[in-house]
Homo-oligomer: A and B are copies of this chain.
Amino acid sequence: MIIVLKPGATQEQIDHIAERLSKVGLKHHVSKGSERTIIGVIGDDRILSAYPLEAVPGIEKVLPILKPYKLASRDFKPEKTTINIDNKVTIGGDTLVIIGGPCSVESEEQILSAAKAVKEAGAHILRGGAFKPRTSPYDFQGLGKEGLKYLASASQETGLPIITEVMDPREVDLVVQYASIIQIGARNMQNYSLLKEVGACKKPILLKRGLSATIKDLLMSAEYILSSGNPEVILCERGIRTFVEVTRNTLDISAVPVIKELSHLPIIVDPSHAGGNWKWVAPLSKASVAAGCDGLLIEVHPNPEEAYSDGEQSLTPTKFINLINELKPLVKLMGKII
């Protein structure tokens, strides 16, 4: 950490800072420049995060040198993390993992029909929401436990592992019984009670980036899960909120290579929520694969017009099959398999 002093900072102020650093066991080095004096802090200064140095008189700004996340960083674990799902598919390895299915589980028939279509297209994992975070309290809130049961029978029928969202720490125990992967939605990315709860369970977690989360924020939320004892975290870029008006969100495609450099965790992309319209799903999927992502999370509905939620961004089974077929040579070109 580098502490930059204000012009005119007094020796008394410098001594006071030095004393604070010594108190927590950190050494330092004072360097007087022509326009500013700076203090270099020596040692693992992450322990200073609890101390508001910027409240100390004489300090202009504090520049961190080290990253605030540790377990999630490449510095800590240089080799890539791979996550095995039910001995059926591995995320973060050679396979470009395709997760498909409807936004919400609406009925036993609907999810089974979706599961068969998704399976036929060659996808690896079935998605479907039983607990739904909806902006409006008047919108469909999901079938709850019944939805989980329908997911389970669709899984049994097709052999596809299941990913489904959990919104409430009280429902983690229930969801764990049905899901192969637990999803944390974008709006809950900084719901720390929930992160700690899923950090204590034994299932892989797919953590969606929040609408206004920086890369650092996303990795800090992953750190919550990792530091609670669960090493299996899959990150998911799903678009951020900007001033752009045509698409629902703005897919931050750079997040794919950036996260691959900063972290060892797998990174997948959700082109359905990023674009907000089925029209953009194909080009955004291709872009994501070309940028090097580990997988795609795509909304597929047997009949999007009748969907209870997110119909406008769902692919029909036919469009989904076509997309997977178009992706295959691209995936191969990227040195992966589908």
Contact = CB atoms under 8 A, between A and B. Distances in A.
Interface of A: 2, 4, 7, 20, 29, 31, 33-36, 38, 40, 42-44, 46, 49-56, 63, 65-66, 68-69, 75, 133-140, 167-170, 187-188, 190-193, 210-212, 214-217, 220, 223-224, 227-228, 240-247, 250-258, 261-262, 274-275, 277-280, 283-284, 286-292, 304-312, 314, 329-330, 333
**Interface of A: prevailing SS:** mixed
Contact of A243 (B243, B278, B283, B289): B243
B187 A190 contact: yes
A190 B133 contact: yes
Copies of this chain, count:
4
Given A257-B279, A305-B55, A211 B212 contact: yes
Contacts of A211: 212
Kindly name the residue among A20, A252, A304 whose own CB sees the greatest number of chain B CB atoms within 10 A: A252
Which A-B residue pairs are the 5 nearest by beta carbons? A52-B311, A212-B212, A54-B312, A290-B290, A168-B193
B167 A168 contact: no
Contacts of A241: 212, 243
Contacts of A139: 49-50
